[in-house]
Amino acid sequence: MKANYTYLSDGTKAKALNASSAGYDYAGSFTYSHASNGTKTLESVAFGGGRIRKSGSTYAVDYHITDHLGSVRAIVNASGTVVEQNDYYPFGKRHPNGLTQLAANRWRFSGKEEQDAAFGITYSDFGARFYDRSAAWTAIDPLAEKYYSISPYVYCIGNPARFVDPEGTSTRVKQLEDGTYEVVGVDFNDDYNIYIFKLNDAGEWISTGVSIGMTPSIYSFVQDDNITPAYGAIIDPSNDAGLDFIQDLTENLRPLAYYMYHARKSRRFDFKVTNGTNSFISNDILYLYRGMPIYSSSDGIQFFGSARDVGNLVAGYYAAAYGMTWDEAREAFDTYNGSQEPLVSKYGQKFGFNLGCSLPEEERRLRRNLNFLIPASLPAYQSIKKKH
């Protein structure tokens, strides 16, 4: 036996040990080294940009630079020095021309954990199943019976340079003849990709494995009950209205009070019903959830969101730009709304908040200290809220 894996009831990996009972324990973003005698020590902690790992008697920060597939192409330390560089063959094998590997790093192709160093297995753990980087899965796709035309072992329908398969599950759309996409379902998981589905002869939606991009959250096309998908909503990749709106409001920051006043229902910053104009257009559910491009990451990943995402992204961005913490912003949003907001709003706002946190800290602190924030208790704030 090379490795023995233990999982929680929901499929989350909890432990991976070799024949000597040494290996790793997993607890959320924390990974612990598990010695043969059962002793456990914190080995590393994952964060959005890489990992914090144990290095001798202290801890070091590794920043992961990824490509459009999520593969780690370089690792930079806290001093800005490149300590690992990776090039890959199309299906995931590491090219020998890459710089010396960082021995402590196990996360490379598609950002998944390699099993090589610990267990002598040339697989990557994708969560739903293991992937042999020679180009095939080690087990059949759990949904294989739904799309007979695709081999249950093939990776990304044979095109790994373009497509990704983070977990083997998906957000569902069907492709229309005019180049747009219709939402036909949502899977509630950690995979934010938007996959194209087709109907098979039995009338079941089957995945093609093709992703058109990602959403800022799994709730981007979910209604206010946090359960029902916005069935029939259309995603139009050629609709730049959201991008133009976001660019205008983020590159040309308005005074916070001005923004708050005009972001109320049916005013021009209430994008979901006005499309950024001075006139109310519609509050039909399919109009509120019309999809469009909203952001492109530095590594080329295209994000699509609903019209609700557009307004929520900007709201979160403004909260960060004006020096609020996320807890302060969350309380302010719920107060501003008059009740606790649905998850489509919360996740969209958090996405925008994270983008706003990239602004210089000094600028954010200055806006806060100059009293640009309006406490919810002030009469001016209450008068704005009562009018709308």
Handedness of CA 124, 128, 129, 131 (dihedral sign): negative
What is the phi/psi pair of residue 289, to 5°? Answer: -110, 20
DSSP letter (8 states) at residue 141: -
pLDDT value for 141: 64
Query: How far is 171 from 309, CA to CA, in rounded Å?
Result: 16
The residue behind tokens 């590594």 is 299
Grouping H, G, I as helix, E, B as strand and the rest as coil, residue 277 is coil
- List all residues 6 or more positions away from 156 whose beta carbon is below 8 Å from its beta carbon: 162, 163, 164, 165, 209
44, two tokens: 């590393």
Distances, alpha carbon 356 to alpha carbons 135, 188, 228, in Å? 39, 26, 30
Residue 245: Cβ-neighbour burial (10 angstroms; 0-12, 13-18, 19+): buried
DSSP notation for 39-105: -EEEEEEEETTEEEEEETTEEEEEEEEE-TT--EEEEE-TTS-EEEE--B-TTSPBPTTSPPP-TT-
Q: Output the CA angle 150-115-43, nearest 5 degrees.
A: 135
Domains of the chain by residue range = 112-214, 235-387
**Cross-strand pairs, 207:** 197
Residue 213 host element (H or E): strand 205-214
Per-residue model confidence as pLDDT tens for the chain (388 residues) = 788 999 987 678 899 999 999 999 999 889 999 999 999 999 999 987 899 998 888 999 999 998 877 889 999 999 999 999 999 888 888 888 766 778 778 999 888 899 988 888 889 888 778 888 877 778 776 655 544 556 667 666 566 665 555 544 446 899 999 999 999 998 877 778 899 988 877 777 888 878 899 999 889 999 998 889 999 999 999 999 999 999 999 999 999 889 999 998 899 999 999 999 999 999 999 999 999 999 998 878 899 999 999 999 999 999 999 999 999 999 989 888 888 899 999 999 999 999 999 999 999 988 887 754 444 444 433 443 444 3
- List all residues 6 or more positions away from 230 whose beta carbon is below 8 Å from its beta carbon: 183, 221, 222, 223, 285, 286, 288, 289, 306
Query: How far is 219 from 81, CA to CA, in rounded Å?
Result: 38
List the beta strands (DSSP E) in 258-370.
Answer: 291-296, 302-306
Residue 185 host element (H or E): strand 181-186
pLDDT value for 253: 93
Query: How far is 220 from 77, CA to CA, in rounded Å?
Result: 34
Query: How far is 108 from 18, CA to CA, in rounded Å?
Result: 21
pLDDT value for 163: 57
Contact 271, 352 (CB under 8 A): no
Query: How far is 211 from 215, CA to CA, in rounded Å?
Result: 11
Mark 208-244 as b/e (b = at least 16 C-beta within 10 Å).
Answer: bbbbbbbbbbbbbbbbeeeeebbeebbbbeebebbee
Closest CA to 167 of 138, 203, 128, 201: 128
Contact 36, 23 (CB under 8 A): no
84, two tokens: 């690992």
Query: How far is 16 from 116, CA to CA, in rounded Å?
Result: 13
Residue 23: Cβ-neighbour burial (10 angstroms; 0-12, 13-18, 19+): buried
